[in-house]
Copies of this chain bind each other. A is one copy, B any other.
Amino acid sequence: MQIPIRINPSSEQSLQQQVFDAVRGLILDGNLKAGAPMPSSRALSEQLQVSRNTVILAYERLIVEGYLETRPSVGTFVNSDLPEQGLFATGSEEREAAVPDRLPLAGFRGARPAVVNPNRHKLAVDFWVGRPDPHTFPTKAWRRLMLHHLSTGGSQLTEYGDPAGLYSLRLAISEFLGPARGIQTDPERIVVVSGIQQALNIAARLLIRKDTNAVVECPCYQGAAYVFDSYGADLRPVPVDEDGLDTRQLHDIDARLAYVTPSHQYPMGTTLSIVRRIELLEWANNKGAYILEDDYDSDFRHNGSPLTALAGLDCYGAVIYMGTFSKSIGAALRLGYMVLPSHLVEPARTAKALLDNGHSWLDQAVLADFLTNGHYTNHLRRIRQMYRDRRDCLIDALVEYFGPVQLSGLEGGMHIVWHLPDDLPDAAECQSLAENAGVGVYSLDGGAATDCGVPGPRDRTLLLGYSSLTPSQIRDGVVRLSRALPAVSESRIASRASR
């Protein structure tokens, strides 16, 4: 008895593996039926010209895996319990291709926020938003702390930890938040998360079900709008003006939550005024709503002191505060935190545990020391000055090459907003023209923001991040930009010619 197997002696795979795969394939394809007799190991070894031991080992594995069975002093057979008909009668690739939509996804509405610029490698100068300067990464301190914790971590390196996060890190964060953001909290109210994106998921899991009303800023950060939408929320966009979210338009809206970026509205860069902060808190209290405060880049306040966070003003237990180290140290760390009203702490811890059983220990231990030893304060002082200088450089260069420019969002953060003059094309066109010239500048859509489908004058708004570029790169970028954008206005042409 022979079976249709071929062996390739020059293959990278062992002969034993080839025999195993071939026999298994014959069984799964229905060419060897349940209960069929197999050739003896001697016969198959002669057929294939391989050692008998090779066949025996392959048979043993096929027996262990249940494809074959032996009957003492009779021989080896295909497992008679296997289903009768051929199991996988044709090649697997075609079959999967034939059922591309085996099932609709269960109500999953998903759009992906654009946190990475897909064209970044084509650009000479990229004003992409919200990027720290890679050279500011505190490599030296990080290395030292990492080596220390790797040597002394012991079982903390191998075991699960508290899903709410390492206590020492939560303590360090709580001590930072008092002076920095005016938030009095204790470590018990903090949950360590892998960035604000995860914090949004935790809040969404607690507060959103299908058709839950969720107020978002218009325009809004994509990552927030998309995640609420993916959980079935009914988005209620409320416009943003120069004082931030227009709270006067909230009164008629019943919602379970409002998502806001009060320190430096994303993308428009405005700061929520104290009057509106109070109105927002009162609205939340009246409606029984929660406020999700996304404080993504509040570490950078260029003019005056930082404003007290909404969470620092909250006396209703209505504010869920979300902070991150993505902007101040690096997004690749994936470390952030939430500060929760006390009655939401336990549900949030459970939601975090269900999501991923807590964050990586080593990164948390290193960051805790980095905060506690004063490294972070020094680090912030250094990069604050650097980013302020870069902001000034960008403003100067824009004025020099484009004349009087209308800018906003200057008080803080890592990007500015340029309200385009009438003689320039709209923002999407500017983005495209600039890209062709090797410069990245961004319309709201291109810059991870969304207008939630509400049309507005936003198509004349251009976002320029400055924090990751040196002054000479910034100037170079603006020069390139001035050449790339059509100069339709006489005065601008004159202004350029005189240079």
A106 contacts B207, C-beta separation under 8 Å: yes
* A124-167 to B contact mask, C-beta < 8 Å, 1/0: 00000001111011010011001100110111111111110000
Is the Cβ of A305 less than 8 Å from the Cβ of B61?
yes
B282 close to A107 (CB less than 8 A): no
Contacts of A355 on B, CB cut-off 8 Å?
A: 197-198, 201, 355
| CB<8 Å pairs between A and B, sample of 8 | A65-B305, A83-B278, A102-B288, A103-B290, A105-B207, A106-B207, A110-B354, A194-B356
> Are the C-beta atoms of A334 and B357 separated by less than 8 Å?
yes
The yes or no answer to A315 lying at the interface (CB within 8 A) is yes
Contact assessment for A330 and B278 in the assembled complex, using a CB-CB cutoff below 8 Å:
no
Q: Which of A142, A201, A315 has the most CB of B within 10 A?
A: A315
A208 to B105, CA, bound (A): 8
Are B201 and A230 in touch, CB under 8 angstroms? no
Contacts of A95 in B (CB 8 A): 315-317
Question: In the assembled complex, which residues on chain B have CB atoms less than 8 Å from the CB atom of A150?
Answer: 139, 142-143, 146
Q: Knowing A79-B275, A105-B347, A315-B88 are in contact, say whether A197-B334 is a contact too (CB < 8 A).
A: no
- Least CB distance, A415 to chain B, in whole angstroms: 15
A382 to chain B, nearest CB (A): 15
Cβ-based interface call for A416 (8 A): no
Apart from the given pairs A115-B160, A159-B330, 14 other A-B contacts in the complex at a CB distance below 8 Å: A60-B304, A65-B307, A102-B316, A106-B208, A115-B353, A115-B357, A134-B154, A134-B157, A139-B157, A142-B150, A155-B468, A157-B332, A160-B326, A230-B354
Give per-residue flags for A306-321: 1 if the beta carbon is below 8 A from chain B beta carbons, else 0.
0110000111111000
Is the C-beta of A438 less than 8 angstroms from some C-beta in chain B? Answer: no
The distance in angstroms between the C-alpha atoms of A61 and B301, with both chains bound, is 13
Chain B residues, CB < 8 A from A163:
112
Residues of A near any B CB (own CB < 8 A): 24, 28, 60-61, 64-67, 79, 81-83, 87-88, 91-92, 95-96, 99-103, 105-108, 110-113, 115-116, 131-134, 136-137, 139, 142-143, 146-147, 150-151, 153-163, 194-195, 197-198, 201, 205-210, 212, 223, 226-227, 230, 256, 273-275, 278-279, 281-282, 288-290, 303-305, 307-308, 313-318, 326, 329-335, 341-343, 347, 349-351, 353-363, 468
Q: Report the separation of the CA atoms of residues A27 and B249 in the bound assembly, to the nearest whole angstrom.
A: 24
Contacts of A304 in B (CB 8 A): 60-61, 64
Closest 8 CB pairs of A and B: A66-B274, A92-B315, A158-B330, A332-B361, A134-B155, A96-B317, A110-B350, A107-B209
- Evaluate contact between A82 and B278: CB separation under 8 angstroms: yes
CA–CA, A488 to B274, complex, Å? 73
In the bound assembly, the distance between CA atoms of A64 and B160 in angstroms comes to 46
Q: Which of B88, B158, B256, B282 makes the CB contact (< 8 A) with A131?
A: B158
Return A164 CB to nearest CB of chain B, in Å. 11
Partner of A158, one of B81, B132, B349: B132
Measured between alpha carbons, how far is A155 from B112 in the docked complex, in Å? Answer: 22
A209 to B103, CA, bound (A): 13
Residues of chain B with a CB closer than 8 A to A112's CB: 163, 349-350, 353-354
- A477, B358: Cα distance in complex, Å: 30
Across the two chains, which residue of chain B brings its CB closest to A63?
B304
Contact A67 B274 (CB under 8 A): yes
Of B66, B100, B316, the contact of A275 (CB 8 Å cutoff): B66
A360 touches B363 (CB 8 A): yes
Given known pairs A101-B343, A198-B356, the reply for A282 and B316 (CB within 8 Å) is: no
Contact of A102 among B66, B157, B313, B317 (CB under 8 A): B317
List residues of chain B with CB within 8 A of the CB of A195: 356-357
Chain B residues whose C-beta falls within 8 Å of the C-beta of A108 in the assembled complex: 205-206, 347, 351
Residue ID in chain B nearest A131 by CB atoms: B159
In whole angstroms, how far apart are the Cα atoms of A194 and B150 in the complex?
A: 20
Which residues does chain B contribute within 8 Å of A157, judged by CB atoms?
Answer: 134, 137, 139, 330, 332-333
Contact assessment for A113 and B353 in the assembled complex, using a CB-CB cutoff below 8 Å: yes
Q: Which residue of B lies closest to A68 (CB)?
A: B274
Known: A65-B307, A81-B275. A334 touches B358 (CB 8 A): yes
- With the chains together, A99 CA to B146 CA distance in Å? 43
Minimum CB–CB distance from A170 to chain B (whole Å) comes to: 16
